[in-house]
């Protein structure tokens, strides 16, 4: 065959394209299990971060150990899901691997939504007795420029904040982007979720007063509005679970 002909050129290009596609497909298939493991570890590390248990450079095996029946260092994390009424519901393995709320609520009918929640047990005794000492819930919503993803750690009754960590967003650096900073997170520690009437009242405010308000980030009004809305939304939903749980009807 004439190597200078157009037929040869197109044929050679077609063969190279097919071989490259096969190699890429093989690589993607081969790497998928590892990618899935890395994604799972990354999501679990966010929960441990909210609980104050994650350390930079922590081995993946240590991260995953907390979520096993054996636990790690006598501490355990159990993930389950609740519906919009705060009732524990059956959830498949794929649903339970998802930390971020976006795929759980986007284009899903309210009655079919499943909200992940993490129960933390600080001892084997409490684990066996199913007496959680903390809970972690994801929070999700839109700020000024982007979707913001966070995790909120609460006490065993769901009434006091132990930590709030925003780990992914596209907000303006130096303004709304400050939600990821430790200073903002720490301002929530010890704050109450509800007011005297039992309504969800945790919020940011320019002039915070009382034990349900934290200082808003100056110059980040729209981001703060987003934070306030997502806190109100998900604390109300998960609050139904805590109400039932505090009455002896939950995990």
Task: Give CA–CA dist 245/55, Å, rounded.
Answer: 31
> Mean pLDDT, the chain, as a whole number?
87
Return the domain boundaries, the chain. 60-246
Whole-number pLDDT of residue 36: 56
For tokens 């769901």, name the residue: 158
Range from 13-17, 28-32, 200-204, 241-245 carrying the lowest mean pLDDT: 28-32
Place of tokens 């993946």: 60
- The candidate with the shortest Cα–Cα distance to 138, out of 174, 168, 107, is 168
The candidate with the shortest Cα–Cα distance to 104, out of 74, 138, 68, 134, is 138
Percent of the chain with pLDDT over 70: 83
Binned at pLDDT 50, 70 and 90, residue 18 comes out as confident
How far apart are the C-alpha atoms of 148 and 220, rounded to whole Å? 14
Q: Which pTM was predicted?
A: 0.82
């Amino acid at each position: 065959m004439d190597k200078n002909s157009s037929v040869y050129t197109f044929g050679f290009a077609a063969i190279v394209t097919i071989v490259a596609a096969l190699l890429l497909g093989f690589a993607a298939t081969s790497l998928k299990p590892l990618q899935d493991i890395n994604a799972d570890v990354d999501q679990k590390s966010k929960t441990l971060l909210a609980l104050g248990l994650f350390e930079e450079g922590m081995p993946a095996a240590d991260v995953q150990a907390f979520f096993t029946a054996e636990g790690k260092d006598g501490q355990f994390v159990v993930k389950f899901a609740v519906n919009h009424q705060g009732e524990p519901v059956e959830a498949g393995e794929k649903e339970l691997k998802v930390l971020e709320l976006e795929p759980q609520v986007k284009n899903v009918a309210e009655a079919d939504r499943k909200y992940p929640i993490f129960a933390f047990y600080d001892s084997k005794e409490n684990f066996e007795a199913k007496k959680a000492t903390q809970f972690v819930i994801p929070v999700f919503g839109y700020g000024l420029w982007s979707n913001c993803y966070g995790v909120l750690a609460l006490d065993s009754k769901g009434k006091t904040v132990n930590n709030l960590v925003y780990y992914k967003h596209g907000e303006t650096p130096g303004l709304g982007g400050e939600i990821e900073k430790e200073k903002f997170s720490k301002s929530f520690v010890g704050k109450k979720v509800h007011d005297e009437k039992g309504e969800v009242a945790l919020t940011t405010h320019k002039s915070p007063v009382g034990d349900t308000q934290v200082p808003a980030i100056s110059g980040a009004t729209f981001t703060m509005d987003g934070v306030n809305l997502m806190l109100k939304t998900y604390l109300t939903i998960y609050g139904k679970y805590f109400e039932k749980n505090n009455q002896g009807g939950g995990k």
